[in-house]
Chain A
Amino acid sequence: MKLDTRRSEISLAVVAALATAAAGAVPSTALASKAPGKYLAGDFHNHTTCSDGSTSMQTVVKKSTDKLDTPWGLDWFVQAGHGGNGNRNCTLVEDESLGTPAFPYVEGQGPATTWAGSIGAANVKGNFGLTSATPDTPLSTRANPSMWRWQSLQEFQYPLMEYLYAYRGVPLFLGLESVVAGHEHSSMAVISGQMPATIHSTPLPGAPPYMALGDATALAQWSYCFDRGATDNSRGGANAWDCSVTGSLNSADPSWNSTARKLFPTGSGVGSGVGLKGHNKTVEAMKWMKEFHPKGSYYVPAHLERAGPFNPDGNNGFNVEHLRNFNNAAPMVAFGFETQPGHHASDQRGEYTVNRNNFFGVRVDSVGGTTYGGTGVYGAQIGGVWDALLGEGRNFWFFGSSDWHNRGMFGTDDRRSTQDFYPGEYQRNYTVVRDGADPKLTPQAIVDGLRSGNTWVDSGQLIDRLAFIACASYPGPAARTNAAVENLAVNAAKNGTDIAVAGCATMGEKLKVQPGAEIVVSIVVRDPAGTSYSPYSFPNPSLLQIGINQPMNAPVLDHIDVIGGQVTGYRKPGKPGYAGEWPRDWIDSYLIGGAPSLASVPAAAKNTSAAVIKTFNATTWMPVAGDPEFKKMTFRIPAVASSQYVRLRGTNLPAGVPWETDADGNPLPDVWTNSSVVNPSVPGATDGVPENGNLRIKCTTVGTSVPSNDVVYTGDAIDGCPEHMPVVGGSKYVALDVAAWADLWFYSNPIFVEVRGSTRVAGVK
């Protein structure tokens, strides 16, 4: 056989073939970059008269989102009152100023008007429920029935919320502060069905009724199925709900109630196991959300230290293992905790206190005994529960919310408070929201932002912009300079955006690197000029103790701590290091002038590798040229060999402020500004503390513009210690809202660094 061809022809053909191959090797599509996102401020835990709040839905929406009358107005807002039931109609407004065409003021009625007095008892659905001797009796037979939350969400609160979203043009949706089976409370939402896009193109009616285009049926069903307070067994009447979860025991679970078609843990007292059974029900709730609304739901335990540790025979607090259980069951749903509670103006900040809880006759502290700079011990203690969870590489994020109920001794419109701040007035979750080209923020974009972990939490407008980024750098061509990374952060902070550069990460993300990489960490904050939303212009009494004269309403960021910790992998259920209760006597050593040690904390609840690795202050950060409100600071973590994370906290208080911060800059327990009575450890004991007995910081400024407690004060320039400060021995002391405005902190969520060959950061994409 002879091939009558020339080599050159074959070569040409080969070249052509190679060219074809090359054409097939065109660059693949680069990874889709992140949609543009901005940090927007929001709140997802607050109350109306439908639960135990004091205002209508319209009032809380207006107070929370109006940027004129209430300049702290938020960018997004989730109205989330308690689950269970309530007998007041929060959809009725207080006066004509709050009325809208579709929901006008009704003469003689308001948000305290009962359902019976507004819609009529006959229209209240469901039945007496499983805690009643006659569970099947219709509620409508009662003269003044409380409405199950599922009905108020589905039929009354949602249509109003949808209308207000369209009417006011502010992103809103409905959630719950669930009364948790086996625990105390959690902020949660199921957004499926809420706020369809058509609401923005559908004309609003000029008069009642407003016919909702979407619905909160999924949230209402969750409320019926899983809220501890929802003892109704009606299956939601015509909804005919069934609370089964695929693959779970359901009817084979001893707690299953076949009439209600849901788990209903029973029992009480020592040995009842009702707490354990309740916890298991709540884990089923996680599974339900994961099964039916995997992207449209979230679940965030609220003020989770307040009710003490977990009680297997009651419904109290959360231990670290319960957070792990939730996150294991539904990591994209149970992705964080509200360890910075609301109620900052309360006489027991956050409503946390010593001996708060009664475990069958034994007084038990809120976990940690109190808050620390306004944050619960789980989030505030370096190396504590939060670091333990982050040290596993879990997606578990820090949030704060107002828990707005009322203003204590003051009226709704007063700028002073002895109980709560309005959503956005004091605390703000700054969450990156990627709305893409859609000018209307959707609930989904907000939930996605919360889930991403790209959130930082501020109190008291200490800072209002933050860029926190980490970039990989390698010697040679892939080297990155501090200046280049810092410039990226400056631009992000100025624009209020996050970053989208390969080889860089921000909060809630992980940076995957090779061993030996350097990590360039850059932080840019804006410490805004002007005044905050505090009504107090007199000098901060806490800072006056150390000779710093700084107006309360013009706080200055003192320093930022960078906290780093190692990631060592997930703890396995049932194995050592998975479960453990925070020491019940944590605060005791503080109360006698000492400080507790992590040595007393079980391994499950701590990460001893966590520490402050860097501190920046006015001598080490630099102002941004031309815009000195912005401070920039950058450092490098050299040659990383193991997976780790970095996170931030910052405050207006230097280290060593008496009764506020320790010598290392850690927040001290807020017990020293709590004016409430502290219960004795057991009835009749003498270890209780009388009202004002713990106060330590004098408030000495005498002003010329200090309104009486009896008038409604709507201004913002109280120049002396206000009249409602407690007086001890003739001197005013810092407590209540002044204590909150004096003691400001921000917390960022972490950036993970996953080093090849080291522990995988499993919980973060």
Chain B
Amino acid sequence: MKTRFIAVLSAGLLSATPAFATSITLDFEGPTSFASIDRFYSGGTDSAGAAGPDLGVKFGFDALGLRNDELGPYFSNAPSPIGVMVAVGPGATMNYAGGFKGLASVYYSSAAAATVAIWSGLNGTGTELGSFVLNNNATEGCADSPFCNWSLASFDIGDASIARSITFGSAASLGAFDNLTIDTVPEPGSGMALAVGVAMIGFAARRRRAG
């Protein structure tokens, strides 16, 4: 039981270090509609001045928040219902400088087939590590808005490679995105700190057992 407590405590330590390996899901419920998401998720604001949580994720200016309003609806049945992200031009790239790997996924509703590439460098540079494959699914089985059906696209980057950007601009004008999830890479310094921390916890646990 004590051991389990220590494990949970370890995870707590882990979660207390935002830059540490963790999974980030962007639900796009906060950014202002028709505004560039920009630094909403990186400690700044979107282009309309709204601020969100600092998750270290930045977007190019062509990535806009979108919410339904009295001129809509633009979409419906999204995984998180209030807001989604749309790419309106080539500069709709998502950047995460700390890197991410493993399984990345995003919900999408697209009016045409497209691919959204994942890159090893920022701003769509470096090596293309893979892509989200989008199908024309926007109105499959529904008709309550132009983008009413959502599917999950995912790609496993694996542990050997580190990705830093996703170029949603390749799907500009085609679809909307929601609940983008990436697994961030632990920063080396943070990993060392964790190792030291976990070692200390383990040492303490051993002393308790010894006691």
* Of A13-21, A155-163, A204-212, A586-594, the one with at least 4 CB within 8 A of chain B: A13-21
- Given A1-B202, A10-B11, are A514 and B62 also a contact pair (CB < 8 Å)? yes
Residues of A within 8 A of B48 (CB): 31, 502, 512
Cβ of A756 to closest chain B Cβ, rounded Å: 5
Residue in B52, B64, B111 whose beta carbon sits within 8 Å of that of A25 in the complex: B52
Number of interface residues of A (CB under 8 A): 48
Least distance between A338 CB and chain B CB atoms (Å): 33
Q: Is A597 an interface residue when CB atoms closer than 8 A count as contact?
A: no
Cα of A27 to Cα of B51 in the assembled complex, Å:
9
* Contact indicator per residue, chain A 474-488, by CB within 8 Å of chain B (1) or not (0): 111111110011001
Q: Which chain B residues in 148-184 approach chain A with CB under 8 Å?
A: 172-176
**B86 lies within 8 A of A756 (CB):** no
CA distance A9 to B11 in the complex (A): 9
When the two chains form their complex, are residues B12 and A30 in contact, meaning their CB atoms are under 8 A apart? no
Are B66 and A29 in contact (CB-based, < 8 A)? no
Q: B168-207: which have CB < 8 Å to A?
A: 172-176, 198-199, 202-203, 205-206
Which chain B residues border A477 with CB–CB below 8 Å? 66, 74-75, 84, 86, 109, 146-147, 175-176
**Chain B residues, CB < 8 A from A10:** 7, 10-11
Q: Are A476 and B32 in contact (CB under 8 A)?
A: no
Q: Which of B23-31, B119-127, B129-137 contacts A (4 or more CB under 8 A)?
A: B23-31
B111: chain A residues within 8 A (beta carbon)? 476
Whether A684 is near chain B, meaning CB under 8 Å from some CB there, is no
A28 and B18 CA atoms in complex are apart in Å by 19
B15 touches A20 (CB 8 A): yes
User: In the complex the two chains form, what is the Cα distance from A17 to B12 in whole Å?
Assistant: 6
- Measured in the bound complex, the distance between the Cα atoms of B69 and A501 in whole Å is 7
Residue of B nearest to A7 (CB): B7
Give the residue of B52, B62, B205 whose beta carbon is less than 8 angstroms from that of A28.
B52
Residues of A within 8 A of B70 (CB): 484, 488, 501
User: Is B97 part of the binding interface, using a Cβ–Cβ cutoff of 8 Å?
Assistant: no
Taking the complex as formed, is A710 at the interface, i.e. its CB lies under 8 A from any CB of chain B? no
Asked if A17 and B22 sit within 8 Å, CB to CB, the answer is yes
Q: Smallest CB-CB separation from A4: which chain B residue?
A: B3
Q: CB-defined interface of B39-71 with A at 8 Å, one 1/0 digit per residue?
A: 010000001111111010000011010110111
Q: Which of A7-46 contact B (CB under 8 A)?
A: 9-10, 12-14, 16-18, 20-22, 24-31
Do residues B7 and A17 form an inter-chain contact, with CB atoms below 8 A? no
Chain A, residue nearest B23 (CB): A18
Query: How far does the alpha carbon of A478 sit from the alpha carbon of B174 in the complex, in Å?
Result: 10
Chain A, residue nearest B18 (CB): A21
Chain A residue at smallest Cβ distance from B87: A476
Q: How far is the CA of A471 from the CA of B172 in the complex (A)?
A: 19
Q: Does A503 contact B (CB under 8 A)?
A: yes
B10 and A13 contacting across the interface, CB-CB below 8 Å: yes
Chain A residues within 8 Å of B53, by CB? 24-25, 28
Q: In the assembled complex, which residues on chain A have CB atoms less than 8 Å from the CB atom of B34?
A: 472, 478, 502-503
Which residues on the A side are within 8 Å of B49 (C-beta)? 31
Which residues does chain A contribute within 8 Å of B174, judged by CB atoms? Answer: 476
Pair B55/A25 contact, Cβ less than 8 Å: yes
What is the total number of residues of chain B having a CB less than 8 Å from a CB of chain A? 65
Q: Taking each of A14, A502, A512, A514, which has the highest tally of chain B beta carbons within 10 Å of its own beta carbon?
A: A514
Q: Does B36 reach chain A (CB closer than 8 Å)?
A: yes
Contact between A3 and B32 (Cβ–Cβ < 8 Å)?
A: no
- Interchain CB contact under 8 A, A27 and B173: no
Residues of A within 8 A of B55 (CB): 25
Contact of A99 with B by CB under 8 A: no
Given A475-B173, A485-B71: A516 and B88 interface contact (C-beta under 8 Å): yes
- Encoded as 1 (CB less than 8 Å from any A CB) or 0, chain B from 5 to 22 comes to 011101110110010001
Helix, strand, loop or mixed for chain A's interface?
Answer: loop
Distance in angstroms from A634 CB to nearest chain B CB is 12
Q: Is the CB of A478 within 8 A of B66?
A: yes
Determine the chain A residues whose CB is within 8 A of the CB of B23 once the complex forms: 18
CB distance from B52 to the nearest CB of A (A): 5
A517 within 8 A of B: yes
B89 at the interface (CB under 8 A from A): yes
- B83 part of interface (Cβ distance < 8 Å): yes
Tell whether, in the assembled complex, residue A27 and residue B29 are in contact, meaning their CB atoms are under 8 Å apart.
yes
Nearest chain B CB to A383's CB is how many angstroms away?
A: 31
CB distance from B76 to the nearest CB of A (A): 11
A5 at interface, CB cutoff 8 A: yes
Which residues on B sit within 8 Å (CB–CB) of A3? 3, 6-7, 198, 202
Cβ–Cβ contact B206 & A13, under 8 A? no
Note all chain A residues with C-beta closer than 8 A to B203.
Answer: 1
Kindly state whether residue A273 has any CB partner on chain B within 8 Å.
no
Contact of A478 among B27, B86, B91, B205 (CB under 8 A): B86
**Residue of B11, B48, B74 ringed by the most chain A CB atoms within 10 A:** B11
Q: Which residues in window 618-671 of A have CB below 8 A to B?
A: none
Contact B88 A476 (CB under 8 A): yes
For the complex, give the distance between the alpha carbons of A5 and B83 in Å.
Answer: 40
Q: Take A5-B7, A14-B22, A478-B86 as given contacts and tell me if A514 and B36 are in contact as well, using a CB distance cutoff of 8 Å.
A: yes
Cα of A29 to Cα of B46 in the assembled complex, Å: 12
Interface status of A515 (Cβ within 8 A of chain B):
yes
B7 touches A13 (CB 8 A): yes
A476 to B147, CA, bound (A): 9
Indicate the member of A1, A478, A480, A488 with the most B CB atoms within 10 Å.
A478
Check B172 against A502 for contact (C-beta < 8 Å): no
Contact with B along A273-297 (1 / 0, CB 8 A): 0000000000000000000000000
A756 touching B61 by the CB < 8 A rule? yes
Q: How far is the CA of A6 from the CA of B8 in the complex (A)?
A: 11
How far, in whole Å, are A270 and B61 apart by their CA atoms in the complex?
56
Given contacts A18-B23, A471-B71, A514-B64, is CB(A27)–CB(B83) below 8 Å?
yes
Tell me which of A2, A5, A480 contacts B6 (CB under 8 A). Answer: A5
Is the pair A25, B27 in contact by a Cβ cutoff of 8 Å? Answer: yes
* Shortest distance from the beta carbon of B125 to any chain A beta carbon, whole Å: 20
B206 adjacent to A1 (CB under 8 Å): yes
Q: How many angstroms from the CA of A514 to the CA of B172 in the assembled complex?
A: 12
B197 to chain A, nearest CB (A): 12
CB distance from B6 to the nearest CB of A (A): 7
Tell me the bound Cα distance from A5 to B22 in angstroms. Answer: 19
- Complex contacts, A478 vs chain B, CB 8 Å: 34, 64, 66, 74, 86, 88
List residues of chain A with CB within 8 A of the CB of B202.
1-3
Which single residue of chain B is at the shortest CB-CB distance from A484? B71
Say whether B95 faces chain A, with CB atoms less than 8 Å apart.
no
Alpha-carbon distance A25/B61, docked complex (angstroms): 21
Task: Please tell me if the beta carbons of A9 and B52 are within 8 angstroms of each other in the complex.
Answer: no
Report if B116 contacts A (CB, 8 A).
no
A515 and B198 contact, CB distance less than 8 A: no
Q: How far is the CA of A2 from the CA of B12 in the complex (A)?
A: 19
* B3 and chain A: residue at smallest CB distance: A4
A2-B202, A31-B48 known, 17 other contacts, Cβ within 8 Å: A3-B198, A13-B10, A21-B18, A21-B24, A25-B53, A26-B29, A28-B30, A28-B51, A30-B50, A474-B64, A477-B74, A477-B146, A480-B71, A501-B69, A502-B69, A514-B36, A756-B47
| 11 residue pairs A–B, Cβ–Cβ below 8 Å | A4-B3, A5-B4, A9-B7, A16-B8, A17-B22, A18-B23, A31-B48, A474-B86, A478-B66, A488-B70, A512-B47
The 6 A-B pairs with the shortest beta carbon distances in the complex, nearest first, are A13-B11, A503-B34, A17-B15, A27-B30, A5-B7, A476-B173
